[in-house]
Structure 1
């Protein structure tokens, strides 16, 4: 156990160092395209994606799926807290996303104790097939597209491994065109909508996590069959509130802590979007997600209208 823990921590430390210390600066050097989707070249590679194609999932694996800046790190910390209580496991043992790092890192996934926690920003079509073959439980976390855009904009400008932008308007154009890491937000969500499996998948929203955190923690523990008492649910909620995560971010994410846990607010988009930009996103939502189950969950009228 000690060796596995140390190896995972070393992999994570190496990844954070790569993200923070890259000398690449241009858009072309920082991003690369794989099967039509852009990825950060500092921490993703063709070889890693090829290794994922033959990755062997286990039936008791846990997979958290999010578009960037939709609550990934928050959800992972919640699962670590739950796992610590249910399985007496060390917190933060295996924090890297499945597509980050080298093929050697992926090869070491097999040494991790079950149940393993994984996370990803990959679109549906890019998820390793074994996750579906093994009927792995997948938790999809959604956030409204306008707050997602603003958070992603700041993430680009604060993370050395991503291209920076001179102004919001420039980023907004790339976001709408899908010319950002992991591609178009609406393509991402609509693909999961079309393939959603009620037996193996559950969706929650960033907004419900903010507004009714206790209920959300309870839903997560029940979905992954990690039973908690009401007292334990309250303890997990206390230890993993957004403010708590932000306070601990330097320990969990090093120098980049503030980049991963910036504001976590609902409605910050109103400080950035012009009326025309808002209408563009409104039209895209209407085209791709209006009337769908996941679209309804986003509560668009409440969170995305001026």
Structure 2
């Protein structure tokens, strides 16, 4: 696990250093109409990703930025460790021998060749929309856990993240950020379009959708359901260990070790309904309207329980 942490922290530190020499308008670049961070993504990597060969036992987490990706990454890596008869958090954890930064679209173009040497099951994370993922993922029926979160909390968390991470454009005011969020000027694109595209895949057997809010409501049941989906057997003791290690308090406490300087930015509040501290009445109405137009009434839209989590 130590090697994996060093890989993560090293890449983050390198990106932050590179961003410090760039103008605000240089921090993002466009690929197929969607913006991405220049310091961690590249056209060459996207090109190489197209021919990436997925395995049917790959464990893939798909989530829009600030939906709880780091939280679920902790849970899934612990579940994989248990499936390999290893102790979660021990030195011999997932892919520890040849660690790769788990985000599929982040890193150098040669990483996919190196990933062919990783033992199964490989753990991967992506913020990409399904049409921009390698076709082999769907052709080979790799299992995907799709994590979604109510859009108002996603926007709120993304705002604080942008202002805490030099690799992304920062904002002087929440109003400026909200304007860009609604105008599709975010890294990894428009969240509503992201949900709309993934909704087309929501009925596939190899995809399980889970919401940030339902995991908050019942962490043990959620972990158990994830383990079942990926075919991982858990004892009651193992289940409790995974739940305890993935609590916000535990992850925040260990964030310096696991995520370096990024830890303070990633683990801010970890709650639900923080949007109520920022949204104006007009902004509420605008987002409610966008939700109605893009995703309300769909499978994913219903699963988000928008009226419960996003109405005043």
Pick from 12, 16, 28 the counterpart of residue 20 of structure 1. Answer: 16
Give distance in 1, aligned partners of 2:243 and 2:101. 19
Indicate the residue corresponding to 1:36 in structure 2. 33
Pick from 292, 297, 302 the counterpart of residue 296 of structure 1. Answer: 302
Give distance in 2, aligned partners of 1:274 and 1:159. 25
Cα distance per residue 1:255-297 (max 9 Å; x no partner): 1101111111101001000000000010011111111111111
Secondary structure, counterpart of 2:29 in structure 1: strand
Structure 1 unaligned blocks of 5 or more: none
For the 8 Å contact 2:8–2:259, the answer to whether it is kept is no
Structure 2 unaligned blocks of 5 or more: 87-91
Cα distance per residue 1:46-96 (max 9 Å; x no partner): 110011011111110011000000011111110111122220353364553
Indicate the residue corresponding to 1:47 in structure 2. 44
For the 8 Å contact 1:20–1:256, the answer to whether it is kept is no
* TM-score, normalised relative to structure 2: 0.93
For the 8 Å contact 1:25–1:163, the answer to whether it is kept is no
Once superposed, what is the RMSD of the aligned Cα atoms? 1.6
Give distance in 1, aligned partners of 2:24 and 2:48. 25
Give distance in 2, aligned partners of 1:88 and 1:222. 16
Give distance in 1, aligned partners of 2:241 and 2:6. 29
* TM-score, normalised relative to structure 1: 0.95
Give, in angstroms, the shift of residue 140 of structure 1. Answer: 0.4
Question: As a proportion of its length, which structure holds more helix?
Answer: 1
For the 8 Å contact 2:81–2:93, the answer to whether it is kept is yes
Aligned length: 302
Pick from 146, 152, 165 the counterpart of residue 171 of structure 2. Answer: 165
Indicate the residue corresponding to 1:193 in structure 2. 199
Give distance in 1, aligned partners of 2:218 and 2:124. 24
Give, in angstroms, the shift of residue 104 of structure 1. Answer: 2.1
Give distance in 2, aligned partners of 1:112 and 1:272. 44
Give, in angstroms, the shift of residue 19 of structure 1. Answer: 2.7
Give distance in 1, aligned partners of 2:27 and 2:14. 12
Cα distance per residue 1:145-184 (max 9 Å; x no partner): 0000010001000001111001000000000011010110
Is 1:222 the equivalent of 2:218? no
